[in-house]
Amino acid sequence: MRLCKSAHCATKVVWDNRHIMETSSLDLLYLESDPQTRQPSACVYMKSSGVQDYAGIKAERLITSPCLTFVELDAEIRRLYAELDEIRARGRRKFYNAEALAAAAAS
């Protein structure tokens, strides 16, 4: 943690976590036509991984950086929620567009 004293931030606490993961660790994989079902399908996958093992857990299995305080942990969890909300919105658009196209083709 450090104190920011620039004109832009007045004097406030700035949390310094130099090992924060890439902000987009999860992503949507959407298939217009699943090879097995020939229907649209989707899943969420990890597109990035940690760069350093932590407490015996391999880096590629980590989806947050190590957090030293609850505030940092809470920020990482909120980031994951935000990523999942964004992925949900993209998935919703993809599935609804596929349904609309199928309905238009049927009529």
- The Cα 86–Cα 54 span in angstroms is 28
Answer yes or no: pTM beyond 0.85: no
**Residue 54 reports pLDDT greater than 70:** yes
The answer to whether the CB of 92 falls within 8 A of the CB of 42 is no
**DSSP assignment, residue 49?**
-
User: What pLDDT digit, counting tens, does each position of 34-45 carry?
Assistant: 888 888 888 888
- The Cα 19–Cα 5 span in angstroms is 23
- C-beta atoms surrounding 65 within 10 Å: 20
User: What pLDDT digit, counting tens, does each position of 55-91 carry?
Assistant: 777 777 778 888 889 999 999 999 999 999 999 999 9
User: What pLDDT digit, counting tens, does each position of 1-29 carry?
Assistant: 333 444 444 434 444 444 444 456 788 88
